[in-house]
Structure 1
Amino acid sequence: MDVKKILITNAAIDVIEELKDKFGPLMFHQSGGCCDGSSPMCFEDGDFKIGDSDVLLGTIYGCLFYMSRDQYEYWKHTQLTLDVTPGRGSSFSLEIPMGVRFLIRSRLFTMEELETLQKNDEAASN
Structure 2
Amino acid sequence: MDAARAPARLKATAGAVELLRRLGGTHGALMMHQSGGCCDGSAPMCYPDGEFVVGDRDVLLGVLDLRLGVGETPSTRPEGGDAVPVWISGSQFEAWKHTQLVLDVVPGRGSGFSLESPEGMRFLSRARAFTPEENASLAAEEVIVGQQWEQGWRPAPSPEPQVVAEAVDACPVPARRPVP
Fold in common (TM above 0.5): yes
- Amino acid of the structure 2 residue aligned with 1:42: C
Partner of 1:83, secondary structure, is strand
Alignment deviations for residues 2-49 of structure 1 (CA, whole Å, 9 cap, x no partner): 410011000001101101111111000012114624100000000000
Q: Does 2:45 match 1:24?
A: no
Match for residue 49 of structure 1?
53
Residue 39 of structure 1 is aligned with which of 19, 39, 43?
43
User: Aligned residue for 2:123?
Assistant: 102
> Residue 75 in 1 paired to residue 101 in 2?
no
CA distance in 2: counterparts of 1:42 and 1:10, whole angstroms: 16
Q: Deviations over 1:75-97 (max 9, x none)?
A: 00000100001000233100110
Per-residue CA distance 1:42-83 (angstroms, 9 max, x = gap) = 000000001124111110122000001111111000001000
Is the 8 Å Cα contact of residues 107 and 122 (structure 2) preserved in structure 1?
A: yes
The offset of 1:107, in angstroms, is 1.0
CA distance in 2, matches of 1:35, 1:77: 25
Aligned length: 122
- The answer to whether the Cα contact below 8 Å between 1:8 and 1:81 also exists between their aligned partners in 2 is yes
Q: Distance in 1 between matches of 2:100 and 2:30?
A: 21
Q: Which has the larger share of helix?
A: 1
1:8 is matched with: 12
Q: Give structure 1 regions of 4+ aligned residues with deviation exceeding 3 angstroms.
A: none
User: 2:64 corresponds to which residue?
Assistant: 60
Which consecutive residues of structure 1, in runs of 5 or more, have no partner in the other structure?
none
Q: Report % sequence identity.
A: 51
Q: Distance in 2 between matches of 1:90 and 1:25?
A: 19
Task: Tell me the equivalent position of 1:119.
Answer: 140
2:108 is matched with which residue: 68, 71, 87? 87
- Is the Cα contact below 8 Å between 1:41 and 1:92 reproduced in 2? yes
Q: CA deviation at 1:116?
A: 1.3
Matched-pair contact (CA < 8 Å) for 1:37–1:91: no
Point out where structure 2 has 5 or more consecutive residues left out of the alignment: 66-82, 144-180
Q: Given that residues 110 and 116 in structure 2 are in contact (C-alpha distance below 8 angstroms), is that contact kept between their aligned partners in structure 1? A: no
